[in-house]
Structure 1
Amino acid sequence: MTAVIGMLFTLQLIRRLRQFTAPLLKATERVQSGDLSVRLPVAGNDEFSAIATHFNAMTEALDETQRSQASLRRTLETRVNNLVAATTAELHHLSRLGTFIQACATQEEAATVISSIAPTLFPDGGSVALLAESRNLLEPYVHWGDAPAPAPWQPSTCWASRLGGPHSASVENHAPRCAHDHTTGATFCLPLSAQGETLGVLSIHTPDRRALDEKEELARRFADRLSIALANLRLQETLRHQSVRDPLTGLFNRRYIEETGARELARAQRQDQPVSALMLDIDHFKQFNDVHGHAVGDAVLRRLGSVLTHQFREEDIACRYGGEEFLVLLPGCAPSMAMERAESLREAVGHLLVAAPDTQGLTVTVSVGAASTAQGSGALAELISCADQALYAAKRAGRDCVKLYGES
């Protein structure tokens, strides 16, 4: 009887084992294939049920881990894609900045370009200040955003200028704030320099330090592009200035008057307005050089250039025509008015006193010839020739006087 009971128990155990191992084998195969949703049935309180419970708990934990990893992967992919898209957009705007500024002819045009592109990179605001020719003042150049427009300020009031490198200030980093900065958030100041020359300061504003950290590297790249572009533009303006200006007197040169004079005459003709010309020559200029030296002669030319700059209107064109000869074009000026202007110039020059060794000062006089398109001179070369003839008439009359073309 005992043997029969033992045999029946053994058969029951074998049947229960087979009932458990078959689903377990299939479940493990599904787990191996990546299906973590499989679960074993739990029936009873025996050891097999305990194993099934632990198996289900294991697959559930693995399934949860897999879902978490997938969610994390999607989040990282989204952030990377957003970062790539933002970086691509920033590089695009930086490239556009360089392209457009290189095509600008003046700093005023460049300021328009910067004020259009900078807000796309730094929407919270910023400004650019350029160092004045005096080198002791930074003047506002471009400003955008909600930050208050800066007033002119001295380099010593900016920590970036004093330290010679970037400076950030915010509530979080407890750094001193530049005296020129009147914002309450975070500010990043970077000196603008190129080819060893300081050009100015770029200031970027953000609400807090965290936002500033995200923009610092972009601000550095922006400053680098801006510095090179502004340096090239300043060099172009310098070369352009040198090509049309006389270096000694600061007046326009003969090349400029020949290029622009014809346009002035054409414009005056369309507007039915006269244009007058004054040709003047320094009396006995050779004596200044021969007796007192070329340094004194140069001083005379510079002083006369200064008088011409202040004596005429902004729309008038004064140039050093050659040697000691000067030419002034007077748009919209009739012959009688031209004579009055010439006489006023002659008197102003007569009050000059030029310092020279072994003298109490040298006086300067000029002879002036005037001509006008109202007298029939339609072309620039013809108008200049008539003024030149009037000049020689003034010299024949004894110098230090004014003569109008066609009058004895």
Structure 2
Amino acid sequence: MTLFNYIVWLIAFLAGVAAAFIAPESSVPLAGKFVFLGAWGAVLGFVLYTICKKKIESTENDFNENLMVLKENNMEFNGGISHDDDYGHQEDEEPAPAPAPMQDLPKGAISAKEALEQLETAAFSAGIPLDPWKNFARAVLKNRPFKEVIAPLQELLPQLFPKASGVLYMYAGTQADLHKVLSFGDQVISDDVIHPGECASFDAGDIVISDYSNPNLTGGCTHLHHHPKGVSFCAPIEGLEEHFGIFTMQTDVLPDQETVEDWHAKVSILATAFGLYVANQNLKVRFEQHSIRDTLTGLFNRRYMEESLQREVSAAARHKTPIGLIMLYPDAVNEIQSTRGRHAVEQLLWELGQRLPGYIRNEDIPCRFEGEMFCVILPGADLKITRQRAEKIRNEIAQLQIAYGDTILSTTLSMGVSVMPTHANDAASLLYAAQASMQYALQAGTNRVILADVLSQK
């Protein structure tokens, strides 16, 4: 299988992954997405198997044909008599003739040893160090963690581009600046942090080559101001239409028997392989986030909430510490739904999802429980702390004014509070107590915090 075939297959697979990720859960549930990905991978795997099988069969047929030609020629050179029967045994007692000398091979044919030597010579003459490249490619294809890919890349670059100096830049959390991830070579060619606009490859979306021996050279990559000599190559690190970084490199002189086109091809292969790897890693992180996050609000989803509650309750029981739980419901949902429509309700829920983490502690766990209900798990919080936190959330949201078209959206909250071990001794009882208290707050007139103490009084 050629590298081209593999890259085409990998792009097709990643396209299927991207399609599954982009599809909204309202039309395709999460389970359906995983079923689609499994089927898509199986289909592509069968296609890849078929291609490889045909390639192997073609190679075997060519080998058998060449072997028959060699046998026929060998019989001609030895008087047309074969000394071996079908089982490889001699038919007479005379010693077998000596192997045909090298000059007796068919015209144009060479020995296997010479062919192997020529292949090795061709590979090394192409300027590709095989062992470092294999280490890098293996880490990429196995989708190893970022650090385990950067290490072989650091080893590969000085051998792939001898006498050159370069820097690999990647975004660090934001798309504002590019930060140096690794560098190689003896020269300092660029700063540790650059702006994407300083590199011409960012706007071009392609590899940019600058020949500093050309007196008419203008513009180009302004970040290469430390050592503007020889030839420079700048390549965007991209994948699935996203920009992740820039690979930039400069050399005073190219090695013997290598041209600018040769280095352009090597830079292109390297940037493409690394870009697809980063895109795949990015998709992996998004899927992991998607599996525990609510798509509308960005808060943790119910599945993660239930797992976290069980985990925190077990830890609280083991360490004899309290744990609080707040359930909340926006009172204005029904009114907004009837007057403004579902989109306005979703805008309200999104705003609550953005604001809620700012009103709680870092260790607290805000979640969208279901529908319009939210909850917050407060590890280590007793009844006093949990109630105070609930009142703070209620007061802050009551003052919130949300612009929506030509109107303002606002709401109050009905909230229920339960605490372990005061109101419950396990996760299910704690959750039930908080929900029942919230329902009591709705029935009692909304815009209030009700403690689970009220349940024992009913």
Could you state the TM-score of these two structures normalised by the residue count of structure 2? 0.61
Bigger CA drift: 341-350 or 317-326?
Answer: 317-326
**Matched position secondary structure for 2:424:** coil
| CA drift at 1:337 | 0.7
Query: C-alpha distance in 2, partners of 1:331/1:149?
Result: 45
| CA drift at 1:278 | 0.6
State the match for 2:157 in structure 1.
122
Identify the match of residue 202 of structure 2 among 152, 155, 161.
Answer: 161
**Matched position secondary structure for 2:296:** coil
Identify the match of residue 222 of structure 1 among 258, 270, 273.
Answer: 270
Matched, 1:330 2:365: no
State the match for 1:208 in structure 2.
252
State the match for 2:222 in structure 1.
179
Distance 1:187 1:341, change over 3 A: farther
**Matched position secondary structure for 1:205:** strand
Equivalent residues of 1:249, 1:302 under 8 A apart: yes
Residue 93 of structure 1 aligns with an amino acid whose one-letter code is N
Equivalent residues of 1:126, 1:145 under 8 A apart: yes
| CA drift at 1:309 | 2.7
Identify the match of residue 345 of structure 1 among 383, 389, 393.
Answer: 393
| CA drift at 1:204 | 3.7
Equivalent residues of 2:441, 2:448 under 8 A apart: yes
State the match for 1:248 in structure 2.
296
| CA drift at 1:370 | 1.2
| CA drift at 1:288 | 1.5
Matched, 1:142 2:181: yes
Equivalent residues of 2:332, 2:410 under 8 A apart: no
Matched, 1:399 2:446: yes
Query: C-alpha distance in 2, partners of 1:232/1:338?
Result: 41
Distance 1:168 1:93, change over 3 A: farther
Equivalent residues of 1:159, 1:178 under 8 A apart: yes
Identify the match of residue 328 of structure 2 among 273, 280, 284.
Answer: 280
Bigger CA drift: 180-189 or 336-345?
Answer: 180-189
Superposed CA offset, 1:243-287 (max 9, x none): 322222221211221233322333444554322111001114212
Query: C-alpha distance in 2, partners of 1:201/1:173?
Result: 27
Equivalent residues of 1:132, 1:138 under 8 A apart: no
Distance 1:403 1:95, change over 3 A: same
Structure 2: where are the runs of 5+ without partners?
1-116, 159-164
| CA drift at 1:99 | 3.5
**Matched position secondary structure for 1:247:** coil
Matched, 1:96 2:170: no
Equivalent residues of 2:238, 2:275 under 8 A apart: yes
Residue 205 of structure 1 aligns with an amino acid whose one-letter code is M
Superposed CA offset, 1:30-64 (max 9, x none): xxxxxxxxxxxxxxxxxxxxxxxxxxxxxxxxxxx
**Matched position secondary structure for 1:192:** strand
**Matched position secondary structure for 1:377:** coil
Equivalent residues of 1:370, 1:405 under 8 A apart: yes
Structure 1 vs Structure 2: percent identity of aligned residues? 25
Query: C-alpha distance in 2, partners of 1:165/1:121?
Result: 22
Distance 1:237 1:150, change over 3 A: same
Query: C-alpha distance in 2, partners of 1:327/1:180?
Result: 49
State the match for 2:233 in structure 1.
188
Structure 1: where are the runs of 5+ without partners?
1-75, 105-109
Query: C-alpha distance in 1, partners of 2:324/2:334?
Result: 28
State the match for 1:32 in structure 2.
none
Superposed CA offset, 1:136-193 (max 9, x none): x453272334746532513x32111233321234644665551233542654211223
Superposed CA offset, 1:223-254 (max 9, x none): 11111112222222233333322222221211
Query: C-alpha distance in 1, partners of 2:141/2:214?
Result: 36
State the match for 1:320 in structure 2.
368
| CA drift at 1:200 | 3.0
Equivalent residues of 1:170, 1:209 under 8 A apart: no
- The 5 A counterparts of 1:50-89 are 80=121, 83=124, 87-89=129-131
Distance 1:152 1:384, change over 3 A: farther
State the match for 1:29 in structure 2.
none
Query: C-alpha distance in 2, partners of 1:140/1:270?
Result: 44
Equivalent residues of 2:416, 2:435 under 8 A apart: yes
Instruction: Please give the root-mean-square deviation of Cα atoms over the aligned residues, in Å.
Output: 3.4
Distance 1:301 1:129, change over 3 A: same
**Matched position secondary structure for 1:191:** strand
State the match for 1:18 in structure 2.
none
**Matched position secondary structure for 1:248:** coil
Residue 144 of structure 1 aligns with an amino acid whose one-letter code is S
| CA drift at 1:383 | 1.8
Matched, 1:388 2:435: yes
Aligned residue-pair number:
322
Equivalent residues of 2:239, 2:279 under 8 A apart: yes
Equivalent residues of 2:423, 2:453 under 8 A apart: no
